[in-house]
Amino acid sequence: MSMKDAYVKKLQSKLDEWNAEIDKLKAKADSADADVQLEYYKKIEELRTMQDEANQKLDELKKASDDAWEDLKAGVDNAWDSLSSSFKSAASHFRR
């Protein structure tokens, strides 16, 4: 397995994990009081948007040649860092 393939596999796995986490957060939001549901749904929508952006970056990375993928890696890393931070923030927000 090439470095690119291993990297793509790692990111895809993390993206799948985040998707499951979003589903869990949505389930919590669905059972929350009506006054906080809107706030939760807004946060979930932000996470979905960021997840879509991360998916697009991952697709770009998958399509990149073995020589060019290193150039895209920095952008993908930035998207992942941002999404990871948002997940941590949302998770702590839902624990309140």
| C-alpha radius of gyration, the chain, whole number | 15
**pTM higher than the cut 0.75:** yes
| pLDDT confidence of residue 96 | 60
Domain boundaries, the chain: 3-94
Alpha-carbon distances of 94 from 13, 34, 47, 61, 78, rounded to whole Å:
23, 14, 13, 32, 24
Mean pLDDT for the chain? 85
- Sequence-separated (6 or more) residues with CB below 8 Å from residue 42: none
Q: Give the C-alpha separation, 9 to 68, whole Å.
A: 17
Q: Give the C-alpha separation, 46 to 42, whole Å.
A: 6
Read off the pLDDT of residues 43-58 as tens digits, 9 standing for 90 and up: 899 888 888 888 888 8
